Amino acid sequence: MATASHRGGAPAGDGARTRSALYEDDAVSRPDRSDAGRSRPDHDGADKTMLRFITCGSVDDGKSTLIGRMLYDAGALFADQAAELEAEAGTAAGLDFASLVDGLTAEREQGITIDVAYRYFATERRKFVVADTPGHEQYTRNMVTGASTADLAVILVDARKGVLTQTRRHSRLVSLIGIRRIVLAVNKMDLIGYDRTVFERIVAEYRTLAAPLELDAVVAIPLSGLTGANVVHRSEAMSWYSGPTLLEHLDQVPVVATDHATTAFRMPVQWVNRPDQDFRGFAGTVVAGTIHPGDPVRVMPSGRASRVARIVTADGDLPRATAGAAVTLVLADAVDCSRGDVIAAAGDPSAVADRFAATLVWLADAPLVPGRGYLVKLGTATAGASVRPPDHVVDVNTGTQHAAATLALNDIGAVEIALDRALAFEAYADNVDLGGFILIDRTTNATVAAGMITGALRRAENVHWQSIEIGRDARARQKGQSPRVLWFTGLSGAGKSTIANLVERKLHAIGRHSFLLDGDNIRHGLNRDLGFSAADRAENIRRVGEVARLMADAGLIVLSAFISPFRADRDAVRALIPHGEFLEVFVNTSLSDAEARDTKGLYAKARRGEIADFTGISSPYEEPTAPEIRVDTTRETAEAAAERIVERVIGVWSHDL
Amino acid sequence: MPVSPHFQRLEAESIHILREVVAEAERPVMLYSVGKDSAVMLHLARKAFYPAVPPFPLLHVDTTWKFRDMYALRDRAAAEAGMPLIVHRNPDALAAGINPFDHGARHTDLWKTEGLKQALDQHGFDAAFGGARRDEEKSRAKERVFSFRSAKHGWDPRAQRPELWRLYNARHAPGESIRVFPLSNWTELDIWQYIAAESIEVVPLYLAAPRPTVVRDGTILMVDDARFRLGPGETPVERHIRFRTLGCYPLTGAVESRADTLAAVVAEMQVTTTSERQGRTIDRDAVGSMERKKREGYF
């Protein structure tokens, strides 16, 4: 029923500004204004969007009062809640709006907000989830909890006090969590006589502080939670203010989070659904991109490839699923895939790493112990982790960085984290779900830190990354391998190139970085000026040897397939390469076998005297006396020989095995 | 499949939570109270694990004083879902004849709070889904989606784990357990709109009908069976009523209403001026009573 051409026809004027279309039918079956007569029973809830926002401010900025006032004036309170409010206030002086949201006994006793309170209300356009977060520094962790799921932040400032240290801290945390939409609510305007110049001074000061934090979408509103001025209703006392009231703004601000629908597909696997032998599905929430049946995917971190066969839901298979949808994918192949893996677009799969640079917000009373074993939960994967001493700690009030040996409660620091296995990930700035993680204490099971990945660290960088010189070891470590030169030698037609090609394919398949030098890519270019005289043959091998050395210095596993008949030339190359990295592979076959095979017809030409200096006919071949590897093509297939060579290379010689 | 972006977001969030628990807990269970929230939660569970049957049992902590219609739907809904149903009745409360007429608050403490603890301990459940929503009550509004309970089932509101993004830390020590609320971010109106949109079966008592009632202290009570103790001179009067929440029938207040279809209930919800818990006499004992109950192990 749904076709792509309908998507452009999604109604623009119905107030339904969707964050992303989760399902194919979304845009087409949502009724627009002209359709209103045929609305479903739940029509009034159907077209609404949802905005999640937090409120933050210093102690006594009047945050809870403001929310209470907004709920009250917006008609979002039930009569019995209002009655309870009046009963609790117990005075005729006015309603205690704060008691509406400070729900814990300890909070009411102390008159402060300790934990995040979630409140729900709706207007004709929107449903709202408000997370009222504590202002006190001691409860930063609770503020971070509230901010992590918010689309927008309302930052309160007391008009009498202006921008305070806490305002800076809240703004920095909000920026760190990635909220870009800010409302600067200058509260208690009634107490400064609704003075426009004071308001403007505070706004100017705030903009200076917000700019470096990339909080560019700041809307400033002068208001009073106590009197209700500019909260829901406009205030006569501030006729100089022409902008929206707080609720008007919240009702209309576009909810544009990062548009995950257009980025590459990602779905962390939560649970493998296997009710019987005939069904195996991978349940998860799509966190980026769009998927269709038939799309090629890779299971990360293994990289195994398959295709999506079906997108299963209880409401029927879908033709398409987009970021935000909870679905079950069936893949076309029986690939190994389990909880913690990420199913990703094959053409643009997730990065994989076991070391990260990250920003940590420390949430526990007990400080970080560098080097100690923690657990990281990232997406749906949990892995063992250890944290290096912080590179620096950020002063959340000023933004300055200073050195520290550890992280204490509410500290924010830049750290490096090493995992006990590689995980698929994204930078937090690109994807919250695959870039945000928590750190868990293995003993208490407490969530001790919130982390945001800034990037992967490569092996070479993790130990001495400031001081390291980029040498051949560094290059090799970066590739996770040891350089090798596999020097294939033997008669023409012995099978050197065939075996070398097989070896290179096998190395490539297991992620090793290699390069094959053979007559075709050398004789036609670098060495096209050389002939086949003994001197030219020596020069040919010398140049090939030098190229092999450069490539080995670059960290590669180099395969060379040349007849290289003279022992002295081969030994000269061996001398160029660091001890142990040169492996001579003698591909041995009898002259009669090689001549009988004669795939290129060269032996026949040589016998007819058409080729001078042909090895084995008119020029000698000096067999290696002690090759590292010997292959007898009369007893071993090329495939078996290649397998044996690969085992030798990665099994014995690789530094990481 | 929900059509609105709002319900897609709510539904996907709940399904994500249900799956996380099943993936990480050892022995999960779903508290099934037969009310509208339980009905939605069960519906979402069936979606989350489709085509498999949700891989956990349903647990009904019975007080023997629920409405008759609730018992009927309970057994039918469990059978339809293909899930095992565990019914637990606190044997101590049964032996002592605890009832809402003679024992007041003790009725709830013994049948519900103690009964729940007994059932969780007896079966070794380490994670229990509950249908509570944050919009119900102030201390609920402060509770995390994953709410940790000590080995004695106590809740410490000041030691709640930070809960970031969609990452839920379900790790716990042996003996400790988690109460998980997949409907945390749903409102009462959301529940009704979703029930209507998804054609979820609910107890008929949510729809208005003429029913035998008495009025006590301003609360309309339904005379559901012969155990209801009528006062001197008290006679049941037929009124058009429906319920916004369902619990033990002698403790559950009804509202007068003519809303006899789901559409009419939704319409009524949108203009209502009272909160649903007003109908629950147990929540009004004292300011902070819900927080106190939760600290003691109530859901």
B232 touches chain A (CB under 8 A): no
**In whole angstroms, what is the distance from residue A219 CA to residue A53 CA?**
14
Contact A450 B273 (CB under 8 A): no
Of the pLDDT bands very low, low, confident and very high (cuts 50, 70, 90), residue A458 is low
Contact A103 B139 (CB under 8 A): yes
Of the pLDDT bands very low, low, confident and very high (cuts 50, 70, 90), residue B8 is confident
Work out the angle at residue A584's Cα, subtended by the Cα atoms of residues A581 and A585, and round it to the nearest 5 degrees. Answer: 130
* Structural tokens at position B76: 């039918």
Task: Name the residue among A45, A46, A79 with its Cβ closest to that of B274.
Answer: A79
Of the pLDDT bands very low, low, confident and very high (cuts 50, 70, 90), residue B103 is confident
* Structural tokens at position A373: 């074993």
Which residues in B lie closer than 8 A to residue A363 (C-beta atoms)? 162
pLDDT at residue B18, rounded to an integer? 97
Residues 6+ away with beta carbon under 8 Å from B219: B253, B279, B281
Q: Which of residues 487-526 of A touch B (CB under 8 A)?
A: none
Of the pLDDT bands very low, low, confident and very high (cuts 50, 70, 90), residue B96 is confident
Contact A104 B287 (CB under 8 A): no
pLDDT at residue A74, rounded to an integer? 77
Higher pLDDT, B58 or A95: B58
SS3 A461: helix
* Out of A8-17, A450-459, A502-511, A599-608, least confident range: A8-17
Does residue A341 surpass a pLDDT of 90?
Answer: yes
* Out of A67-71, A131-135, A346-350, least confident range: A131-135
Which residues in A lie closer than 8 A to residue B270 (C-beta atoms)? 44
From A56, A114, A441, select the one nearest B158 (Cα to Cα): A114
Contact A117 B287 (CB under 8 A): no
Of the pLDDT bands very low, low, confident and very high (cuts 50, 70, 90), residue B168 is very high
* Structural tokens at position A299: 């299971």
Which residues in B lie closer than 8 A to residue A326 (C-beta atoms)? 11-12, 15-16, 19, 48
B175 touches chain A (CB under 8 A): no
Mutate to test the interface with B, among A40, A271, A376, A409 (most CBs of B within 10 A): A271
B196 touches chain A (CB under 8 A): yes
The residue count of chain A comes to 657
B7 touches chain A (CB under 8 A): yes
Contact B50 A314 (CB under 8 A): yes
- For A199, phi then psi, to 5°, come to -55, -45
Residues 6+ away with beta carbon under 8 Å from B233: none
Task: Name the residue among A326, A438, A446 with its Cβ closest to that of B167.
Answer: A438
Task: Name the residue among A48, A120, A275 with its Cβ closest to that of B51.
Answer: A275
- Total CB pairs under 8 A between chain A and B: 210
What are the pLDDT digits (tens) for A627-636?
Answer: 999 998 888 8
Q: What is the pTM of this model?
A: 0.70
**DSSP H or E run through A157:** strand A152-158
**In whole angstroms, what is the distance from residue B149 CA to residue B119 CA?**
15
Higher pLDDT, A456 or B71: B71
Give the distance from residue B171's alpha carbon to the nearest chain A alpha carbon, in angstroms.
6
Contact A145 B184 (CB under 8 A): no
B82 touches chain A (CB under 8 A): no
Does residue A360 surpass a pLDDT of 90?
Answer: yes
Task: Name the residue among A41, A117, A273 with its Cβ closest to that of B263.
Answer: A41
pLDDT at residue A377, rounded to an integer? 96
Task: Name the residue among A115, A148, A436 with its Cβ closest to that of B160.
Answer: A115
Of the pLDDT bands very low, low, confident and very high (cuts 50, 70, 90), residue A85 is low
Q: How many CB atoms lie within 10 A of CB B133?
A: 24
Which residues in B lie closer than 8 A to residue A129 (C-beta atoms)? 185
Contact A273 B158 (CB under 8 A): no
Active site residues of A: 564
Q: Which of residues 33-72 of A touch B (CB under 8 A)?
A: 40-42, 44-50
pLDDT at residue A510, rounded to an integer? 79
Of the pLDDT bands very low, low, confident and very high (cuts 50, 70, 90), residue B2 is low
Question: Would you say the ipTM is above 0.95?
Answer: no
N-term to C-term CA, chain B: 30
**A422 within 8 A of A354, measured Cβ to Cβ:** yes
Average pLDDT, chain A: 81
Rounded average pLDDT over A36-63: 63
What's the distance, CA B278 to chain centroid? 15
State which of A56-60, A92-96, A230-234, B53-57 shows the largest mean pLDDT: B53-57
Question: Which residue's structure tokens are 């003075």?
Answer: A195
Find residue A517's DSSP bridge partners: A560
- For A128, phi then psi, to 5°, come to -120, 140
**A315 within 8 A of B1, measured Cβ to Cβ:** yes
Does residue A366 surpass a pLDDT of 70?
Answer: yes
Does residue A251 surpass a pLDDT of 50?
Answer: yes
pLDDT at residue A95, rounded to an integer? 56
Number of helices (H) and strands (E), helices first, in chain B?
9, 10
* Out of A31-35, A204-208, A276-280, B237-241, least confident range: A31-35
Give the distance from residue B94's alpha carbon to the nearest chain A alpha carbon, in angstroms.
34
pLDDT at residue A566, rounded to an integer? 87
Q: Which of residues 404-443 of A touch B (CB under 8 A)?
A: 432-433, 436-438, 440
Longest Cα separation, chain A: 120
Mutate to test the interface with A, among B138, B281, B295 (most CBs of A within 10 A): B138
Give the distance from residue A414's alpha carbon to the nearest chain B alpha carbon, in angstroms.
19
Of the pLDDT bands very low, low, confident and very high (cuts 50, 70, 90), residue A34 is very low
Does residue A72 surpass a pLDDT of 90?
Answer: no
What's the distance, CA A279 to chain centroid? 30
Which residue in chain B has the smallest CA separation from A24? B3
Which residues in B lie closer than 8 A to residue A450 (C-beta atoms)? 162, 164
pLDDT at residue A13, rounded to an integer? 34
Does residue A199 surpass a pLDDT of 70?
Answer: yes
Of all residues in chain A, the percent with pLDDT exceeding 70 is 82
**A248 within 8 A of A230, measured Cβ to Cβ:** no
B288 touches chain A (CB under 8 A): yes
**In whole angstroms, what is the distance from residue B58 CA to residue B129 CA?**
9
Q: A151-185 in b/e burial notation, b at 16+ Cβ within 10 A?
A: bbbbbbbbbeeebeebbbbbbbbbbbbbbbbbbbb
Q: Which of residues 91-110 of A touch B (CB under 8 A)?
A: 100-106, 108
Of the pLDDT bands very low, low, confident and very high (cuts 50, 70, 90), residue A103 is low
Q: B194-227 in b/e burial notation, b at 16+ Cβ within 10 A?
A: bbbbbebebbbbbbbeebebbeeeeebbbbbeee
Give the distance from residue A220's alpha carbon to the nearest chain B alpha carbon, in angstroms.
27
Task: Name the residue among B8, B157, B171 with its Cβ closest to that of A104.
Answer: B157
**B31 within 8 A of A53, measured Cβ to Cβ:** no
